[in-house]
Structure 1
């Protein structure tokens, strides 16, 4: 068996090319039948259903669905000091980046003399942050979701995250939550957590919105509950493209394609290059890197890179590489080149673009500052990374003074009459003039 899947893009027909674009998230609809009863049970039974599903799916008995303050305190004693220092470092960078995103609370522009229009930004009243746990612990997701939410000023913030088999929440996640400014954490995950956030239970307070990446089960629950709460940007299983133009050592491409591939067998990860020498060098390097990974993570990444949603895509030209990347619209994109800016203008469809050999996805996921909660499954074509404004809502403001009114009313009357709306027309007619001061 070959080291990894090898896709000669120029030799593929249209169907095979389309298959390369498919993600595990595309299968979420197949789970609707299994997820809908979970949602219904949580809505009807509340906490009892959460505890039952947590035993069934997470193999955990949770003593307290809401994590007690004592567990937060204990987490700072159980997590190694260097990890806490790294969390503080990351939060500082993430906060610095996202503070620049926060819009002005209000702006007004004089559209015509005496007529003003603008926007006002206010925080969403309540938001839940989903932090996954199934294939690892993710204090990084806690930081990426909590920091911009706190900067936005959301008054009611909570985290939902699956418990470990002992019923507790990952200690580093609790450290990150407290350092970011969130003190409400619920030990519940999966589709049942999304249902709890949507409908509320005896313990879990309902929220207006939920953000954060999750498994296909979480994605399916979000889709089914999209009419009940705002489910945020579509963030499913991890995916990445490492684009190598032949100017950087092929071993770097192999090293970095494993970053997102190790998340789980439902991830997607490709090396894309028009250089056969680069492709062969990357392929030759993979076994050595797998040997230096944990057994579980090596198995995950091998399943991805040897399967239908991963491996090496060999194109016929750098332009064809650009075209494939834009068609794929990856969550994470690395441009492995000594001149990455040469390619930047040609790549328009990627949620995160990390440039050059010194900017691996690892830095973006943890400490660089930009948000690593990103749209997956080709949604990068129409939306971008999680940001401060995802935790805020925008209201339009209008203010027309007496001297400006007549001109605007005249033109509005004409449009209202043309569209056949008599009340619209009457509201800016002589009828209004008779009652205005």
Structure 2
């Protein structure tokens, strides 16, 4: 049963936001448990990984079988049906295009005669990418994390993927790694996999960045390890907000809501409108679709929010800062500039979130829990760092050194002044 909320004033917005979303707070007990897992992996390495794989995945791995053989990756790709291979290849191409275009290049400018300043992008040496398992396979996450890392120029890319009951990585997920190119794949999951990629074990090398979505335990591990390694973001349960009006095809809106609720029992979906009638109509259609899908459909996370004005609707959406935001109203294009906070914005009734999940191009690893107000989705830039570059000729030094000499004196740093004086004297 969907929850129904009404907003008549701006002051009510924070209360409704808190009610419609489980903010994704990680329970204290999970942080404690994950801390113990990290400590165990740090102390015992591969032995701990094998122990946790046995306990959590029900799989007994041999000490030498944590890593997937290169031949198995190639065989997985070769075994795909033609339509599956074509779809993955199409998605990979689009993701690569977006990654290249969004990465940007460095810059350099001569700001005075003989004085040049600029920046260059430098790829990180290594990236550890987490791909969830569980109820579903996620070959799309392989592409959405691995291809941006590749396009950024990361030399060492590795994936951790939970093994299935047979001890193997899902075949389609494994096949997707072949499209990333040179990389390594490890059949381990959960917080222990994140710890291994951050700390390093006998089999799994430590990485410069951890990226990819996961459950509360994976997210907790990233949080606890953030002081030791760069992380992308804390990507929690899926979220979608859909802004609808009298022009909306409510069947499209209902289908998109169900698509995101399918991910997780903690997923959050919100329909927003100034019209209670439109919301009720969309909810009724969604309920009918749920009946047709059977018991596997998750609908508990749906909320209906009626706002007294368009201004309140837009303010609510910006405060909510959802992972995915669909503008499915008649003048959607005119509202793009009004949206400040969303992980990814989908404009128009044909911009289904499912397209963004798979083939549109931007990574589907996006901020959740309201963090889209301050964080961006994963991009190729996350796999790089900016290095500033300064160039001086003798002419440029002669021009700038006197001012720098004065500032060194003001700060009382005599050796800074000396390093300038020795050049000024020639």
Counterpart pick for 1:9 among 4, 7, 10: 7
Q: Give CA deviations for 1:327-372 in whole Å, capped at 9, x if unaligned.
A: 0111111110232112111111111001111110000110111221
- Pair 1:417–1:247, CA change in 2 (3 A): farther
Alpha-carbon distance in structure 1 between the residues aligned to 2:56 and 2:322: 30
Map 1:253-402 onto structure 2 (within 5 A): 253-293=253-293, 295-296=295-296, 298=297, 301-305=298-302, 311-402=303-394
- Offset at 1:10? 3.2
| TM-score, reference length from structure 2 | 0.94
Alpha-carbon distance in structure 1 between the residues aligned to 2:379 and 2:133: 22
| TM-score, reference length from structure 1 | 0.92
Alpha-carbon distance in structure 2 between the residues aligned to 1:319 and 1:15: 15
Counterpart pick for 2:395 among 396, 403, 416: 403
Partner of 1:124: 124
- Offset at 1:29? 4.6
Partner of 2:80: 79
- SS of the equivalent of 1:234 reads coil
CA RMSD of aligned residues (A): 1.9
Alpha-carbon distance in structure 2 between the residues aligned to 1:73 and 1:404: 56
Partner of 1:91: 92
Q: Give CA deviations for 1:23-52 in whole Å, capped at 9, x if unaligned.
A: 453225542111111001111111111111
- Offset at 1:418? 2.8
- SS of the equivalent of 2:377 reads coil
- Pair 1:304–1:22, CA change in 2 (3 A): closer
- Pair 1:425–1:378, CA change in 2 (3 A): farther
Asked if the contact 1:245/1:318 (under 8 Å) is kept, the reply is no
- Pair 1:290–1:364, CA change in 2 (3 A): same
- Offset at 1:259? 1.7
More divergent stretch after superposition (75-84 vs 398-407): 75-84
Asked if the contact 2:41/2:195 (under 8 Å) is kept, the reply is yes
Alpha-carbon distance in structure 2 between the residues aligned to 1:413 and 1:135: 65
- Pair 1:415–1:95, CA change in 2 (3 A): same
Alpha-carbon distance in structure 2 between the residues aligned to 1:268 and 1:256: 12
Asked if the contact 1:24/1:266 (under 8 Å) is kept, the reply is no
Partner of 1:215: 215
Alpha-carbon distance in structure 2 between the residues aligned to 1:187 and 1:83: 22
- Offset at 1:424? 2.8
Gaps of 5+ in 2: none
- Offset at 1:77? 5.0
Map 1:104-123 onto structure 2 (within 5 A): 104=105, 106-123=106-123
Partner of 1:308: none
Alpha-carbon distance in structure 1 between the residues aligned to 2:301 and 2:156: 38
- Pair 1:21–1:123, CA change in 2 (3 A): farther
Partner of 1:201: 201
The total of aligned residue pairs comes to 423
- Offset at 1:61? 2.5
- Offset at 1:191? 0.6
Alpha-carbon distance in structure 2 between the residues aligned to 1:405 and 1:256: 61
Asked if the contact 2:17/2:320 (under 8 Å) is kept, the reply is no
- Offset at 1:397? 0.4
- SS of the equivalent of 1:326 reads helix
Asked if the contact 2:42/2:199 (under 8 Å) is kept, the reply is yes
More divergent stretch after superposition (264-273 vs 358-367): 264-273
Asked if the contact 1:213/1:235 (under 8 Å) is kept, the reply is yes
Alpha-carbon distance in structure 2 between the residues aligned to 1:285 and 1:200: 50
- SS of the equivalent of 1:350 reads coil
- SS of the equivalent of 2:188 reads coil
Asked if the contact 2:13/2:316 (under 8 Å) is kept, the reply is no
Alignment pair present for 1:433 and 2:393: no
Runs of 4+, deviation exceeding 4 Å: 11-15
Partner of 1:422: 414
Alpha-carbon distance in structure 1 between the residues aligned to 2:146 and 2:207: 15
Alpha-carbon distance in structure 2 between the residues aligned to 1:130 and 1:187: 11
- SS of the equivalent of 2:269 reads strand
- Pair 1:21–1:433, CA change in 2 (3 A): farther
